[in-house]
Structure 1
Amino acid sequence: MTLLVGDIGGTNSRFGLVAQGDLRPDGVRTIRNDDHSSFEEAVAAYLDGAAERPKRAAFALAGPVAGRAAKLTNRDWPIDADALQTRLGLDHVALLNDFVAQASALPHFQAGETTPIGDVAPSNAASKAALGPGTGLGVAGLLLTDGAWLPVPSEGGHIELAAVDAREFAIFALIRRGFGRISAEHVLSGPGLRRLHEALAAVEGAAPPDLEPAEIVAQAEAGDASAAEAVALFLRLLARFAGDVALTFGAQGGVYLCGGVAPKLLGLLDVAAFRAAFEAKRPHEALMRKTATVVVTSEVAGLIGCAAAVRSDRAA
């Protein structure tokens, strides 16, 4: 039976159809959310042009999922699975957190859909973890238990993040003023990169720059010293956090950086520095040296993950 899959963000929604016995989507199409007043309308717009009318659906959502209901973090679209079934004539609708879907996809990528950071290859014989900076910081585990993959949702992006040297302490102290604490998401996200850039300027006594994250990355690529330092710090903190996530989930099968931000930073990534920060987890350096770090570059990871989760009956 064909499965309708969707990866739903705040700005765009990507849909596809997955054939029975497969995990990879066909007929993939991206729809601008601003063109539709509700999630139901966006799904209907895709189905109007689809090659066939599926009876089951699974949607990965950038927001919290509570049973049969969900709400996107960055769009006022309340989503009700039962209402979707009724309006669209579907037999069943499954709702997943977007990073549960990302984690579910990890064992199923093809060549060219990932880029390794370092020489260690990921393994499908051990548990894995997915994390990804974006508007926020998503985290999920994928445990291998009794030969089956079990996705584990997490709010790991909100754990406390520690500074480890005097410069980081000074930067974190400035950022902490606005939040009372420093969570990983406060600095390891698009807004977090901007906070790091502004705090670095303040530490140097310079006027705070007014740049969007994409502009900071562009300036770093052009050789601007302050932007390059902000991106380097961001990547070092991301590596340390990825190491913490690996230890938390026992992810000896690999830690995967997912979402749209990490691939855009590959050109600025110092592989040796990233691996050094990732592996510096005394007394487990030897374990960390054997744990792969990977950037996911597939544009359909969320769709693959939807199909994988439903096919395993974990998200139905």
Structure 2
Amino acid sequence: MTLLVGDIGGTNGRFGLVDGDAVRPRAVRTLANDGFATFEDEVAAYLDAAPERPDRAVLAVAGPVFGDAMRLTNRDWLIDGHALERRFGLTRVALVNDFVAQAAALPHYSADELTPIGEATPIHAPKAALGPGTGLGVAGLRPAGGGWIPAPSEGGHIELAAIDSEEFAILQALRRDFGRVSAEWALSGPGLARLHAAAGAVAGRGDAAIDTAEVRTRAEAGDVHALASVALYLRLLARFAGDMALTLGAQGGVYLCGGVVPRLSALIDPAAFRAAFEAKRPHDDLMRRTATVIVTSDVAGLIGCAALAGPAPERDGASR
């Protein structure tokens, strides 16, 4: 049987096909959500160009999942499993949170898809997957028998805290403009641009607003203000990663997923990142032993969907 796997964020949908009980996708294609009025239209565009029709589907979607239908957190799209089954002749469509899929993928990477930050190495123990994209996703993964069980989380929406006067002033500037400052608001992909603008306002520079890609480009070119904004972003992200490690008991490692962190990897100071991650007194020693790893696979969510699908069911016995 052929499985359709999809990783659906606020900006893009990535799709692929998986054969039998494999986890590696083929016929992978990424589609921009802005090109489609509905999610079903996007699926149709992928399937119209696919080499064959799948029998069932597992779709990772950006937002909480309860039952067979949900709306994306950062795009007003309804994703309805039953409607997809009827329209595309699928025996079963399962919806999972996108970071549950990211967590489920963790045991299935090759070594060249993982880049460590610091010297600590992952162990066989509970893990955490987190990462900035359109939003800020979080999930846990716990060993169970001979396998793993992912645990959903909306940890990206916790309150973001400052630890010094500079951070307090910058977060206060964000709060004046946007109200509540969640971790996602500052540490999602767009969050870097927001932090840069707030830092400029606090410093009285009055910089013209620029997007996250431009902040990164300027930082790579050596612009001191952009470098300071990236350093702040990474410091806050490292502290948030440490908070999630403690919350989820992730002694097996914290994995930074999604496309944003790999694009910033050349600007990461491992020592500074680890210092911020580990500063969790009275648990500094525990944190020093907890690995931090960048996931560089561009099909992570699809691998996770395939891992969550389990063995292909017999057509007559398929059930929710």
Q: Could you tell me the TM-score, scaled by structure 1's length?
A: 0.94
Residue 81 of structure 1 contacts residue 95 of structure 1 at CA under 8 Å; is this kept in 2?
A: yes
User: What is the CA–CA distance in structure 1 between the aligned matches of 2:289 and 2:128, rounded to whole Å?
Assistant: 15
For residues 139-195 of structure 1, give each alpha carbon's deviation from its aligned partner in whole angstroms, at most 9, with x where no partner exists. Answer: 111122334311111111111221111211221222222344332112112332122
User: What is the CA–CA distance in structure 1 between the aligned matches of 2:197 and 2:159, rounded to whole Å?
Assistant: 20
Structure 2 counterpart of 1:131, one-letter code: L
User: What is the CA–CA distance in structure 2 between the aligned matches of 1:219 and 1:36, rounded to whole Å?
Assistant: 33
Residue 199 of structure 1 contacts residue 208 of structure 1 at CA under 8 Å; is this kept in 2?
A: no
What stretches of structure 2 of length at least 5 have no aligned partner?
313-318
For residue 65 of structure 1, give the secondary structure of its aligned residue in structure 2: coil
Aligned to 1:253: 252
1:40 maps to 2:17: no
For residue 112 of structure 1, give the secondary structure of its aligned residue in structure 2: helix
User: What is the CA–CA distance in structure 2 between the aligned matches of 1:190 and 1:13, rounded to whole Å?
Assistant: 16
TM-aligned CA deviation for residue 312 of structure 1 = 7.6
User: What is the CA–CA distance in structure 2 between the aligned matches of 1:128 and 1:174, rounded to whole Å?
Assistant: 34
Aligned to 1:81: 81
1:11-30 to 2 correspondence within 5 Å? Answer: 11-30=11-30
Aligned to 2:283: 284
TM-aligned CA deviation for residue 97 of structure 1 = 1.3
User: What is the CA–CA distance in structure 2 between the aligned matches of 1:200 and 1:48, rounded to whole Å?
Assistant: 47
Aligned to 1:128: 127
Aligned to 1:6: 6
Residue 252 of structure 2 contacts residue 291 of structure 2 at CA under 8 Å; is this kept in 1?
A: yes
Instruction: Return closer, same or farther for 1:238/1:107 CA change in 2, 3 Å cut-off.
Output: same
Instruction: Return closer, same or farther for 1:203/1:192 CA change in 2, 3 Å cut-off.
Output: same
What stretches of structure 1 of length at least 5 have no aligned partner?
none
For residues 253-296 of structure 1, give each alpha carbon's deviation from its aligned partner in whole angstroms, at most 9, with x where no partner exists. Answer: 11011111111100100000000110111111111111110111
User: What is the CA–CA distance in structure 2 between the aligned matches of 1:50 and 1:31, rounded to whole Å?
Assistant: 13
Aligned to 1:31: 31
Residue 21 of structure 2 contacts residue 311 of structure 2 at CA under 8 Å; is this kept in 1?
A: no
TM-aligned CA deviation for residue 50 of structure 1 = 2.5
148-157 or 5-14, which deviates more: 5-14
For residues 46-88 of structure 1, give each alpha carbon's deviation from its aligned partner in whole angstroms, at most 9, with x where no partner exists. Answer: 2233333221100111233231002223333211101111111
Instruction: Return closer, same or farther for 1:252/1:91 CA change in 2, 3 Å cut-off.
Output: same
Instruction: Return closer, same or farther for 1:75/1:183 CA change in 2, 3 Å cut-off.
Output: closer
Aligned to 1:67: 67
Alpha carbon RMSD of aligned pairs, Å? Answer: 1.8
207-216 or 37-46, which deviates more: 37-46
Residue 11 of structure 2 contacts residue 134 of structure 2 at CA under 8 Å; is this kept in 1?
A: no
For residue 162 of structure 1, give the secondary structure of its aligned residue in structure 2: coil
User: What is the CA–CA distance in structure 2 between the aligned matches of 1:204 and 1:47, rounded to whole Å?
Assistant: 51
1:96 maps to 2:108: no
TM-aligned CA deviation for residue 118 of structure 1 = 1.1
106-115 or 194-203, which deviates more: 194-203
Residue 6 of structure 1 contacts residue 13 of structure 1 at CA under 8 Å; is this kept in 2?
A: yes
TM-aligned CA deviation for residue 114 of structure 1 = 1.6
Aligned to 1:222: 221
TM-aligned CA deviation for residue 198 of structure 1 = 1.6
Residue 263 of structure 1 contacts residue 295 of structure 1 at CA under 8 Å; is this kept in 2?
A: yes
The aligned length equals: 314
1:175-190 to 2 correspondence within 5 Å? Answer: 175-190=174-189
Residue 197 of structure 1 contacts residue 209 of structure 1 at CA under 8 Å; is this kept in 2?
A: no
What is the identity percentage for the equivalent residue pairs of Structure 1 and Structure 2?
Answer: 66
1:294-305 to 2 correspondence within 5 Å? Answer: 294-305=293-304
For residues 102-160 of structure 1, give each alpha carbon's deviation from its aligned partner in whole angstroms, at most 9, with x where no partner exists. Answer: 1111111112112111122222x111111111222111111223343111111111112
1:160-171 to 2 correspondence within 5 Å? Answer: 160-171=159-170
User: What is the CA–CA distance in structure 2 between the aligned matches of 1:10 and 1:179, rounded to whole Å?
Assistant: 20
User: What is the CA–CA distance in structure 2 between the aligned matches of 1:276 and 1:74, rounded to whole Å?
Assistant: 32
For residue 79 of structure 2, give the secondary structure of its aligned residue in structure 1: strand
Q: Could you tell me the TM-score, scaled by structure 2's length?
A: 0.93
1:212 maps to 2:211: yes
Structure 2 counterpart of 1:126, one-letter code: A
User: What is the CA–CA distance in structure 2 between the aligned matches of 1:41 and 1:68, rounded to whole Å?
Assistant: 18
Residue 190 of structure 1 contacts residue 213 of structure 1 at CA under 8 Å; is this kept in 2?
A: yes
